[in-house]
Amino acid sequence: MQYPASWLQGASLGEKIACELRLQIVSGTIKPNTILSENQIADEFGTSRSPVREALKTLFTEGLIRLERMGAVVLGLTPKDIEEIYDVRFFIETFILERLSKIQHENLVTALNQIIDKMEMAAKHHDFIEFAYQDLHFHEIMILEGDHTRILHLWNNIRHIVLAALLVATEKRFTAETHEIKPLIDKHRLIVNALISKDSSNMKQVIQEHFEDTRHTVNNTVLNHKIHER
């Protein structure tokens, strides 16, 4: 699997390299303990070492690699990493939903329903890339609508890993677990209904159930390659 080119519009070369390496690490194409060489990566992408350094610095900040003199050592994602990422997502989105429940959000509800329609269309055409993108977009526009600068910074710190893991997990759903696609779409509609209800306890329950399902799928998909290596 390659990182979708359509998702890279406007990105710097360093960002593009980081996105491709991140996806390969998350998917298990690049195994934990692999040593990444700046020269090798530069040759692979047909570039100088400068954007490669930028990419490796980003992946180091995200905790996916460890920088050493001999090169970058791949750490990958552990069960603890995934657990913590979804803890942060749960905190962000329950906070945002409660915040949104106190303001008028008719335009947001319309936008969210339109995104769900696009997810259904992507499912109909077996387009897991578009489905994954719309899935992330659904959650992201709520965060943006929440208009909370520090929460947005927190989200941006995990956004790229979330998107890579979501892409890997969505591909598995579309190839091996197609029965999970409709229930996943339905869970997004439940989130919209919870937002409309303005019932904070209902919001928290719906988000928790949705994230438990997603966390389970990501765990089974992203960590599965490590199990087979043993």
Local confidence pLDDT in tens for the 230 residues of the chain: 789 988 998 999 999 999 999 999 999 999 999 999 999 999 999 999 999 999 999 999 999 999 998 889 999 988 888 889 988 988 998 899 888 888 777 899 999 999 999 999 999 999 999 999 999 999 999 999 999 999 999 999 999 999 999 999 899 889 988 888 998 999 999 999 888 887 777 777 888 887 777 777 777 777 664 434 43
Extract the tokens encoding 30: 């690049």
Q: How far, in Å, CA of 184 to CA of 170, rounded? A: 10
Considering only CA atoms, which of 84, 81, 77, 70 is closest in space to residue 39? 70
Q: How far, in Å, CA of 211 to CA of 100, rounded? A: 19
Please, which residues have CB within 8 angstroms of residue 79's CB and are 6 or more apart in sequence? Answer: 219, 223
User: What is the pTM for the complete model shown?
Assistant: 0.87
Number of Cβ within a 10 Å radius of residue 156? 11
Residue 102 DSSP class: T
How far CA 103 is from CA of 60, 97, 120, 126, 171, in Å, comes to 38, 10, 28, 36, 36
